[in-house]
């Protein structure tokens, strides 16, 4: 238990100082809510990592102290209550682990889109959208075996956080899917950086997302960058944390220049802020 030594007040803010140094925080931070992350202790101390599944999706595992942990992405559609992991350990021994998901209510956002086709696409647009959806889904559901996955990110662009993750969105007063990423408003041409080491899966220009890049960080952790004005990377390229991958733009469905940044974990879009200091 820590012992406070001072309470310092500044306008509306209190800082509690402690005599004891806190342990380094682990990332991503757990937040078992829809759109969040559950970190589940598996009770296994084996040389070989287990295979862990949430529904039909395989999930990231990592060592923590003397046991394995599962790092589980929770879709925004997840219901509160008890959920189960299926764990396959050595010699194909299978067992289950329960974990709890809590409720969370996200705010609403109402946006006016001048290009009406970006709200109600025509027949030809829908053909393109359906074809692009297959490419996007394949990139976001990619699984790469990797012993170590870097899960502490840096912010990919310097700018104002304009639209948080999870907003219930209305375009021209028509309800649409919740906001599955984090929007960072910045001047067009601002450099976008890789938040962590990874490999570029693919890139392209898509109806809603505009110029887009997907980066694979391993074990089902994939990041997506949308609305770019310029792309500087190619499929198969290795990128390191902080390296430029492109520039902020306003391609696709936008109301101004910004980066839409999504983080996908076991093919669930989750809160990017959980990976940031």
Residues 120 and 73 placed together within one structural domain of the fold:
no
Residue 6 has pLDDT above 60, yes or no: no
Residues 64 and 193 placed together within one structural domain of the fold:
no
Backbone φ, ψ for residue 182 (5° rounding):
-120, 125
Which pLDDT score, from 0 to 100, does residue 5 have?
A: 30
Residue 249 has pLDDT above 90, yes or no: yes
Residues 94 and 224 placed together within one structural domain of the fold:
no
Which pLDDT score, from 0 to 100, does residue 19 have?
A: 25
DSSP 239: E
Confidence of residue 99 (pLDDT cuts 50, 70, 90): very high
Residues 119 and 240 placed together within one structural domain of the fold:
yes
Last residue of a domain, one of 101, 130, 145: 101
Which pLDDT score, from 0 to 100, does residue 151 have?
A: 96
Average pLDDT of the residues in 137-159: 96
Which pLDDT score, from 0 to 100, does residue 20 have?
A: 30
Residues 90 and 118 placed together within one structural domain of the fold:
no
Lowest mean pLDDT among 13-17, 136-140, 157-161, 197-201: 13-17
Residues 190 and 228 placed together within one structural domain of the fold:
yes
Characterize the bridge pairing of strands 210-218 and 198-206: antiparallel
Which pLDDT score, from 0 to 100, does residue 3 have?
A: 36
Which pLDDT score, from 0 to 100, does residue 90 have?
A: 78
Conformation bin of residue 209: beta by default, left when phi > 0, alpha when psi is -120 to 50: alpha
Residue 242 has pLDDT above 80, yes or no: yes
Flag whether 7 is in a domain: no
As a whole number of angstroms, the distance between CA 176 and CA 130 comes to 17
Which pLDDT score, from 0 to 100, does residue 117 have?
A: 82
Alpha helix segments (H runs only) across the chain: 123-140
Last residue of a domain, one of 67, 101, 135: 101
C-alpha triplet 151, 154, 157: angle, nearest 5°: 140
Which pLDDT score, from 0 to 100, does residue 92 have?
A: 85
Confidence of residue 1 (pLDDT cuts 50, 70, 90): very low
pLDDT tens digits, one per residue of 11-30: 332 222 222 323 346 899 99
- Domain holding 209, by residue range, is 108-275
Residues 157 and 177 placed together within one structural domain of the fold:
yes
Last residue of a domain, one of 82, 101, 120: 101
Domain count, the chain: 2
3-state secondary structure of 81: strand
Residue 123: give its domain's CATH number.
2.70.70.10
Which pLDDT score, from 0 to 100, does residue 231 have?
A: 98
Residues 89 and 223 placed together within one structural domain of the fold:
no
Which pLDDT score, from 0 to 100, does residue 258 have?
A: 97
Residues 52 and 167 placed together within one structural domain of the fold:
no
Chain center to CA of 10: 34
Average pLDDT of the residues in 257-272: 98
Residue 237 has pLDDT above 50, yes or no: yes
Flag whether 219 is in a domain: yes
Average pLDDT score, the chain: 88
């Amino acid at each position: 238990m820590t012992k406070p030594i001072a309470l310092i007040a500044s306008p509306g803010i209190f800082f509690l100082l402690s005599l004891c140094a806190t342990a380094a925080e682990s990332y991503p931070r757990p937040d078992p809510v829809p759109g969040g992350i559950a970190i589940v202790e598996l009770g296994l101390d084996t040389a070989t990592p287990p295979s862990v599944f949430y529904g039909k999706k395989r999930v990231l595992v990592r060592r923590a102290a003397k046991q394995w942990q599962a790092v589980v992405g929770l879709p925004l559609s997840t219901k509160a209550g008890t959920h189960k992991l299926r764990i396959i350990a050595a010699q194909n021994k299978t067992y289950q682990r329960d974990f709890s998901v809590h409720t969370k209510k996200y705010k609403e956002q109402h946006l006016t889109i001048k290009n009406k086709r970006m709200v109600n696409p025509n027949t030809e647009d829908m053909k393109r959208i359906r074809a692009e959806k297959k490419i996007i889904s394949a990139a976001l559901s990619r699984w790469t075996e990797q012993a170590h996955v870097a899960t502490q990110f840096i912010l990919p662009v310097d700018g104002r956080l304009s639209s948080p993750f999870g907003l219930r969105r209305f375009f021209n007063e028509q309800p649409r899917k919740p906001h599955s990423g984090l929007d960072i408003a910045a001047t067009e041409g601002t450099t976008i950086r890789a938040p962590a080491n990874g490999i570029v899966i693919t890139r392209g220009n898509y109806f809603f997302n505009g110029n887009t890049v997907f980066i694979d960080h391993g074990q089902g952790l994939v990041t997506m960058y949308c609305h770019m004005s310029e792309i500087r990377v190619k499929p198969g390229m290795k990128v390191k944390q902080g390296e430029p991958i492109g520039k902020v733009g306003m391609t696709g469905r936008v109301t101004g220049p910004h980066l839409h940044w999504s983080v996908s974990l076991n093919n669930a879009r989750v809160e990017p802020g959980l990976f940031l200091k």
